[in-house]
Amino acid sequence: MQNKKILVLKGDGVGPEIIDCALEVLSAISDKSGEKFTLDFADIGGVAIDKYGNPFPEETEQKLQDVSAVLLGAVGGPKWDNIDPAIRPEKGLLALRKALGVYANLRPCQIYPGLIDNSPLKPEYLKNVDFVIVRELVGGIYFGKRDTFIENGLRTAFDEERYDEAEIKRIAIYAFETAMGRSKKLTLVDKANVLDSSKLWREVVAEIAEDYPEVELEFLYVDNAAMQLIRQPSSFDVILTNNIFGDILSDEASQIAGSIGLLPSASLGAEVGLYEPIHGSAPDIAGQNIANPLATILSLAMLLRYSFGLHAEADQIEQAVKQVLANGHRTKDLAPDDYLGTREITHEVIKNL
Ligand code: IPM
Ligand code: MG
């Protein structure tokens, strides 16, 4: 059996400590299952700027060549806030996504029974909440033309939201396929009452829908979608949307679940998958053993499932996380007065594997 190769990019802020937790879980899984993993490490984001003057250095890009998956912590921090925008830590993450070509970003959101009280929503709204955001990840305004200049004596800037039909088609197919494996309901979130790019999304998605007659397709404007996510989150199954709306709605979704420290993500559609928690680098709590590692541990579960087909092992991790929460263990984001540390809750997860 060939060793499975993972490139680990710890990044900045809480990145290193939450990744170390995920790696402890991986090592426990390896002991139990006999599966062998080979790890390689490289830099991205602020640490890479400090070391190479580039948030996505050549050294890191090279290493993508011979791995099957990338596990990433988080990037960014106040240290690099005033740096040239062209080399901000976040640019490293975007360059990595683009280099891999991972256009389909899956961000599942479900409610853990023990965490109902952590959600700002009333319990009756939380019943049967289980949806996944399928966010287009390598196009749109994140990668469009942008410029800052003086025009008519005024400081002016623009960022272009641009998609071609091929980009929309491939993510739409991904979303329909995802819906076929779930409750067969798909909601396209856009702003087609204002944006031409959104109108094109509607057109293309409606065309693809003809190949998926079993999937119930619904269109929602993004402002309405933001409202419905709070009003009736259980009405969603698969949410398909562009890069920027997906970014915004997934943070909103994390609050329905109780904490942004819980939501994992998988970025797929290419040969090498990228797995990262949806949260940022939280520099204010870095190095204090209080960050929530569960989103990263759950991202590792997604890695095992999608990049290596290790479904049983992925289920094991997800079940263990559920069990730890059901046993009443909490990290500080979930229970500020009575919590386990980053490492300690990881050990609970490992005990429950
Ligand atoms: C995310 C993050 C990133 C994004 C940032 C760090 C560039 O917010 O993964 O949601 O906007 O995609
Ligand atoms: Mg985000």
The whole-number average pLDDT for the span 275-294 is 97
251 CA: nearest ligand 1 atom: 10
Report residue 260 CA to chain centroid gap: 11
Q: Does position 244 have pLDDT exceeding 80, yes or no?
A: yes
Q: Does position 2 have pLDDT exceeding 80, yes or no?
A: no
Using the Cα atoms of residue 242, residue 248, residue 251 and residue 252 in order, give the sign of their dihedral.
negative
Q: What is the pLDDT of residue 1?
A: 57
pTM, to two decimals: 0.96
Q: Which of 43, 190, 247, 333 is catalytic?
A: 247
Give per-residue pLDDT as tens, 176-233: 999 999 999 999 999 999 999 999 999 999 999 999 999 999 999 999 999 999 999 9
**Cα–Cα distance for residue pair 118/352, rounded to 1 Å:** 22
The whole-number average pLDDT for the span 17-24 is 98
Residue 207 Cα to ligand 2 middle (Å): 29
In the chain, beta strands by DSSP E: 4-11, 37-42, 69-74, 104-110, 130-136, 146-151, 154-159, 185-190, 216-221, 238-241, 266-268, 273-275
247 lines ligand 1 (CB under 6 A): yes
Domains, the chain, ordered by start: 1-102+264-353 (3.40.718.10), 120-257 (3.40.718.10)
Please report which residue ranges of 267-310 form alpha helices under DSSP H: 294-308
**Cα–Cα distance for residue pair 105/133, rounded to 1 Å:** 8
93 lines ligand 1 (CB under 6 A): yes
247 is catalytic: yes
Q: Report the percentage of the chain scoring pLDDT > 90.
A: 97
Which residues, in sequence order, are bridge partners of residue 188? Answer: 219, 240
Q: What is the 3-state secondary structure (H, E, C) of 33-102?
A: HCCCEEEEEECCCHHHHHHHCCCCCHHHHHHHHHCCEEEEEECCCHHHCCCCHHHCHHHHHHHHHHHHCC
Residue 22 Cα to ligand 1 middle (Å): 20
Q: Determine contact, residues 70/88, Cβ cutoff 8 Å.
A: no
Q: What is the pLDDT of residue 231?
A: 96
Q: Of the candidates 138, 140, 158, 161, which has an alpha carbon nearest to the alpha carbon of residue 148?
A: 158
295 lines ligand 1 (CB under 6 A): no
Give per-residue pLDDT as tens, 131-154: 999 999 999 999 999 999 999 999
Q: Does position 341 have pLDDT exceeding 60, yes or no?
A: yes
User: Minimum-distance ligand to the CA of 141?
Assistant: 1
Q: What is the pLDDT of residue 3?
A: 82
**Cα–Cα distance for residue pair 51/184, rounded to 1 Å:** 47
**Cα–Cα distance for residue pair 335/115, rounded to 1 Å:** 10
Give per-residue pLDDT as tens, 29-84: 999 999 999 999 999 999 999 999 999 999 999 999 999 999 999 999 999 999 99
223 is catalytic: yes
Instruction: Tell me the pLDDT band of 345, cut-offs 50, 70 and 90.
Output: very high
User: Minimum-distance ligand to the CA of 44?
Assistant: 1
User: Residue 342's CB: how many other CB atoms inside 10 A?
Assistant: 25
C-alpha distances in Å from residue 88, one per residue of 47, 55, 84, 282: 11, 7, 7, 16
Q: To test the ligand 1 pocket, which listed residue (247, 250, 255, 281) has its Cβ within 8 A of the most ligand atoms?
A: 247
